[in-house]
Amino acid sequence: MNQITPYLPSILQGLITTIAVAVLSILGAAAVSVVVGVLRTLPSRLVQRLALVLVELMRGASAVIYLFWVYYALSAIPGAPQLSPFTASVFVLSAIGGAYGAEIVRGGIQAVAASQRDACRALGLSGRHTLTRIVLPQALSQIVPSFASLAVDLVKWTSIVSFVGVQDVFYAANTARTATNQTVLVFIVLAVLYLVLSVCVAALFRGIEYLLPMNRANRKARSRAPRTPPPRHVETPAAVVVR
């Protein structure tokens, strides 16, 4: 352990970078998920198919390949934006996470009963108000638990950003491993750090799930519901049984 102690400050600094990439990627993936997921549920077949093509395209190859394309190949195109390693990493992780999250959003929206939309149309609500005020608030109780698993995966996917020079925790740990040749010890420390980050993200989403309006309403309704006493066992007199 003493051999890697001098590298602990750089590992902690890399951990801060990993947290920054993870937070921005989760927020970006959430935004992409909602937009593309809603497009997947619109009545227009053309829009649905275009959104489906986008989803399958982003899920069809490795995240590392897309990261290399965005950072290296895009910069070689004249007039294309020159993204920094950090920006390219957040962009790619947000897009790929959003592609997976779009299917979660689509499933959550479709899980809301069609009668809710029919009632909104009968009341004269527009499609935008129906989606933002009625459908999405109910769908969140289905979306958030599944998106929590995706957010944990995004935390672990941040390890690929070191391939384009982002000095995250994996980059710093790999530097310490090369300098000290303490492969097992360094990767044990790295595994513990990723485990702690994953547990924290999962706990955060459990808190969000607990605070959702629909879940709070359901808990309040269950607490106010009268408790039905268990049925009492009535013994049948022996004389009745004989008869």
Instruction: Return the CATH number at 48.
Output: 1.10.3720.10
Q: What pLDDT was estimated at residue 15?
A: 94
Please report whether residue 77 resides in a domain: yes
Which band of pLDDT confidence, cut at 50, 70 and 90, is reported for residue 205? very high
Q: Can you tell me the distance from the alpha carbon of 189 to that of 112, in angstroms, rounded to the nearest whole number?
A: 44
Which residue did the predictor score with more confidence, 233 or 208?
Answer: 208
* Residue 227 lies inside a defined structural domain of this protein: no
Domain hosting 19: range is: 10-222
Q: What is the mean pLDDT of the chain?
A: 86
For residue 158, give the DSSP letter.
G
Let me know if residue 4 belongs to a domain.
Answer: no
Look at residue 155 and tell me if it is in a domain.
yes
Tell me what the mean pLDDT of segment 160-189 comes to: 89
What's residue 242's pLDDT? 44
pLDDT above 70 (res 90): yes
Is residue 2 a part of any domain in this protein? Answer: no
| Residue 229: inside a domain | no
Q: Which residue has the tokens 């039905």?
A: 228
Q: Are 141 and 216 in contact (CB under 8 A)?
A: no
In sign, the C-alpha dihedral spanning 223, 226, 229, 231 is negative
How many structural domains compose the chain? 1
- Model confidence at 238, in pLDDT bands (50, 70, 90)? very low
pLDDT tops 60 at residue 219: yes
Residue 240 in domain: no
In a domain, 71, yes or no: yes
Q: Given this model, what pLDDT does residue 142 score?
A: 86
Residue 163: count other Cβ atoms within 10 Å of its Cβ.
16
Instruction: Give 39-55 pLDDT, tens digit per residue.
Output: 998 888 999 999 999 99
Length of the chain: 243
Average pLDDT over residues 191-199: 95
d(CA 161, CA 92): 10
Confidence grade of residue 229 (pLDDT, cut at 50, 70, 90): low
What residue type is assigned to position 58 of the chain? M
